[in-house]
Amino acid sequence: MPHLLVTGGAGFIGSHTVRRFLDRGWSVTALDNLSRVGSDFNLGWIRSHPGSDRLTFVQADVRDYEALAPWVARADVVLHAAGQTAVTSSVADPRHDLEANVLGTFNVLEAARQSRTQTQNPLLIYTSTNKVYGGMEDVGVKLVDRRYRYTDLPDGVAESQLLDFHSPYGCSKGAGDQYMRDYARIYGLRTVVFRQSCIYGTWQFGIEDQGWVAHFTISAVLDQPLTIYGDGMQVRDVLYIDDLLDAYEAVIAKPEVATGQIFNIGGGVERAISLLDLVEMLEALRGSPMQIAYDGWRPGDQRVYVSHIGKAERLLGWRPRVTAEEGVRRLYGWAQGHRDLLIAARTQLLEKVAHN
């Protein structure tokens, strides 16, 4: 049976990927250092899958080449989703951010290059980010009906947009992004880069600076106060996790088309919502107003980011299917049914912050 390695396999995206491919009958290895709040809960979730006899869990760090390399060598496909994920954390500790994201990605690539057989090397899918485009100060923005919009990009940001790494996180993810692309050109590795926008869904323990849709939703369910930075009219395109997994499967189905390519993957213009739009959806679901406070804009905050997803549609035949309203409804329902788990995760987070 085909074998998938997922680095960051106990994270939000990683755990969903593990379960999707167990559903498909694959053998799956999940590699994770379990450092992120909620990863132990996600590990329990993937181990509960009926096909868990085909699951191997490895507690290891992608910065440790010797621990990582043997698992890359066994894989037919590698989803590299491990790394440091928050802009604010990268600003607070840029060295850790660099080591986790740049060195970790380099180790995955080198392990794939060194393990290459005479016929084929693993297909590598890298979870990059829209942050590689930076602030896009040269792109006009206007305010229309309480939402920021691009002046001249009606379909969103395409892959041809100039890179302008901003923040240590943007630099580290962007470096990995370009390493992936160049290893396809120089060494002939089968790499694919996904510059992902705002991915959200169940089993996401969102926090203030990463996973904002889940963070807002959890705050609504637990009736906790929420701070909006800026005016709330900033816009992002949101993509439900199931649609992202469909995109991964589309790449695996067409490796000859996808290899060496970079794709902007998000909800696109049809799933672009403002922070205030999300609050309105959540207040309708809970039947009462949320506790909202406002604070100033944070450094590097963009008024708008929306992905142009036409390339993925054209080459991979992929388009999102879950609307923002439906995705938020699913996430809200899951959060209602897992209140105790969410309280435990937030307690973990507070303890981690206090310890640091």
Catalytic residues: 169
DSSP-assigned states of every residue in 217-262: HHHHHTT--EEEES-S--EEEEEEHHHHHHHHHHHHH-HHHHTT-E
Closest CA to 213 of 45, 325, 64: 325
Q: Any idea which residue has 């549609």 for tokens?
A: 313
CA angle 26, 29, 35 (to 5 degrees): 140
Is 169 in contact with 84 (CB distance < 8 Å)? Answer: yes
Closest CA to 220 of 298, 327, 328, 303: 328
H/E stretch holding 109 reads: helix 104-114
Q: Name 285's Cβ contacts closer than 8 Å, sequence gap at least 6.
A: 220, 328, 329, 332
Per-residue buried b or exposed e for 144-181, using 16+ beta carbons within 10 Å of the residue's own CB: eeebbbbeebeebbebebeeebbbbbbbbbbbbbbbbb
Is 133 in contact with 139 (CB distance < 8 Å)? Answer: no
**Residue 128 token pair:** 């990059």
- The DSSP output letter for 265 is E
H/E stretch holding 111 reads: helix 104-114
**Residue 171 token pair:** 């630099």
Mapped onto helix, strand or coil, the DSSP state of residue 80 is strand
Is 12 in contact with 203 (CB distance < 8 Å)? Answer: yes
